[in-house]
Structure 1
Amino acid sequence: MTTLQKFWVFGILKALTLCTMIIVVFREIGSIDGFNTIGADTTYMLSILFPAFTFIVDYLIFTKNDKLDS
Protein backbone atom coordinates (compact mmCIF):
# COMPACT_ATOMS: atom_id res chain seq x y z
CA MET A 1 0.00 0.00 0.00
CA THR A 2 1.45 3.34 -1.02
CA THR A 3 1.60 6.32 1.27
CA LEU A 4 -1.10 8.09 -0.75
CA GLN A 5 -3.45 5.12 -0.31
CA LYS A 6 -2.71 5.10 3.42
CA PHE A 7 -3.47 8.81 3.56
CA TRP A 8 -6.87 8.30 1.90
CA VAL A 9 -7.81 5.45 4.24
CA PHE A 10 -6.77 7.13 7.47
CA GLY A 11 -7.80 10.62 6.36
CA ILE A 12 -11.35 9.47 5.64
CA LEU A 13 -11.47 7.55 8.93
CA LYS A 14 -10.30 10.66 10.78
CA ALA A 15 -12.90 12.84 9.08
CA LEU A 16 -15.72 10.39 9.85
CA THR A 17 -14.62 10.11 13.47
CA LEU A 18 -14.51 13.89 13.83
CA CYS A 19 -17.95 14.18 12.23
CA THR A 20 -19.40 11.67 14.69
CA MET A 21 -17.76 13.35 17.66
CA ILE A 22 -19.16 16.78 16.73
CA ILE A 23 -22.69 15.38 16.38
CA VAL A 24 -22.48 13.53 19.70
CA VAL A 25 -21.03 16.48 21.61
CA PHE A 26 -23.68 18.95 20.46
CA ARG A 27 -26.47 16.43 21.01
CA GLU A 28 -25.26 15.76 24.57
CA ILE A 29 -24.87 19.45 25.34
CA GLY A 30 -28.49 19.91 24.29
CA SER A 31 -29.68 17.04 26.48
CA ILE A 32 -27.79 18.32 29.54
CA ASP A 33 -29.15 21.86 29.30
CA GLY A 34 -32.64 20.75 28.39
CA PHE A 35 -32.69 22.91 25.28
CA ASN A 36 -30.63 22.97 22.10
CA THR A 37 -27.77 25.43 22.07
CA ILE A 38 -27.70 25.33 18.27
CA GLY A 39 -30.14 23.84 15.82
CA ALA A 40 -29.88 20.46 14.16
CA ASP A 41 -29.12 22.01 10.78
CA THR A 42 -26.15 23.93 12.19
CA THR A 43 -24.90 20.81 13.96
CA TYR A 44 -24.98 18.78 10.76
CA MET A 45 -23.41 21.61 8.76
CA LEU A 46 -20.56 21.89 11.28
CA SER A 47 -20.14 18.13 11.42
CA ILE A 48 -19.72 17.97 7.63
CA LEU A 49 -17.87 21.19 6.78
CA PHE A 50 -15.27 21.19 9.57
CA PRO A 51 -14.00 17.62 8.90
CA ALA A 52 -14.08 18.28 5.16
CA PHE A 53 -12.03 21.45 5.61
CA THR A 54 -9.47 19.70 7.82
CA PHE A 55 -9.27 16.81 5.34
CA ILE A 56 -8.58 19.22 2.46
CA VAL A 57 -5.91 21.07 4.47
CA ASP A 58 -4.29 17.76 5.47
CA TYR A 59 -4.30 16.66 1.83
CA LEU A 60 -2.67 19.90 0.68
CA ILE A 61 0.01 19.60 3.36
CA PHE A 62 0.58 15.92 2.54
CA THR A 63 0.94 16.50 -1.19
CA LYS A 64 3.26 19.46 -0.61
CA ASN A 65 5.48 17.37 1.69
CA ASP A 66 5.34 14.46 -0.75
CA LYS A 67 6.56 16.72 -3.58
CA LEU A 68 9.37 18.06 -1.38
CA ASP A 69 10.53 14.52 -0.57
CA SER A 70 10.74 13.58 -4.26
Structure 2
Amino acid sequence: MKRLLLATLLAGEAFSIRAAAPSIEVHSIARDFATFWDATQDLPPAQRIAAFKQQVVPKFPAF
Protein backbone atom coordinates (compact mmCIF):
# COMPACT_ATOMS: atom_id res chain seq x y z
CA MET A 1 0.00 0.00 0.00
CA LYS A 2 2.82 2.39 0.88
CA ARG A 3 4.56 1.62 -2.39
CA LEU A 4 1.39 2.32 -4.35
CA LEU A 5 0.90 5.62 -2.57
CA LEU A 6 4.52 6.59 -3.14
CA ALA A 7 4.36 5.60 -6.82
CA THR A 8 1.16 7.61 -7.27
CA LEU A 9 2.66 10.69 -5.65
CA LEU A 10 5.84 10.46 -7.71
CA ALA A 11 3.92 9.92 -10.93
CA GLY A 12 1.70 12.89 -10.18
CA GLU A 13 4.75 15.02 -9.51
CA ALA A 14 6.44 13.90 -12.72
CA PHE A 15 3.43 14.74 -14.88
CA SER A 16 2.24 17.87 -13.16
CA ILE A 17 2.33 21.05 -15.19
CA ARG A 18 3.90 24.00 -13.45
CA ALA A 19 3.97 27.59 -14.53
CA ALA A 20 7.41 28.94 -15.20
CA ALA A 21 8.66 31.25 -12.51
CA PRO A 22 8.56 34.88 -13.60
CA SER A 23 11.93 36.32 -14.41
CA ILE A 24 13.02 39.15 -12.19
CA GLU A 25 15.16 41.95 -13.48
CA VAL A 26 16.88 44.24 -11.02
CA HIS A 27 17.91 47.77 -11.91
CA SER A 28 20.14 49.56 -9.45
CA ILE A 29 19.95 53.33 -9.35
CA ALA A 30 22.12 53.57 -6.25
CA ARG A 31 24.93 55.37 -8.06
CA ASP A 32 22.50 57.82 -9.67
CA PHE A 33 20.89 58.50 -6.30
CA ALA A 34 24.25 59.03 -4.59
CA THR A 35 25.27 61.48 -7.32
CA PHE A 36 21.96 63.31 -6.93
CA TRP A 37 22.32 63.35 -3.14
CA ASP A 38 25.79 64.84 -3.27
CA ALA A 39 24.88 67.44 -5.89
CA THR A 40 21.73 68.69 -4.14
CA GLN A 41 22.69 68.81 -0.46
CA ASP A 42 22.80 72.59 -0.42
CA LEU A 43 19.44 73.11 -2.12
CA PRO A 44 16.37 74.14 -0.13
CA PRO A 45 13.95 71.22 0.39
CA ALA A 46 11.42 72.39 -2.20
CA GLN A 47 14.07 72.70 -4.90
CA ARG A 48 15.63 69.40 -3.91
CA ILE A 49 12.29 67.61 -4.20
CA ALA A 50 11.69 69.16 -7.62
CA ALA A 51 15.17 68.11 -8.74
CA PHE A 52 14.56 64.59 -7.41
CA LYS A 53 11.34 64.31 -9.38
CA GLN A 54 13.08 65.53 -12.50
CA GLN A 55 16.37 63.62 -12.26
CA VAL A 56 15.79 60.44 -10.26
CA VAL A 57 12.14 59.46 -10.60
CA PRO A 58 12.26 58.98 -14.41
CA LYS A 59 15.04 56.43 -13.95
CA PHE A 60 12.80 54.24 -11.80
CA PRO A 61 9.27 54.50 -13.24
CA ALA A 62 7.91 51.49 -11.36
CA PHE A 63 7.58 53.66 -8.29
Q: Does the TM-score normalized on the shorter chain lie above 0.5?
A: no
Q: Which has the higher helix share?
A: 1
Tell me the TM-score normalised to structure 1 length.
Answer: 0.35
The structure with higher relative contact order (CA 8 Å, sep 6+) is 1
The alignment's TM-score, normalised by the length of structure 2, stands at: 0.38
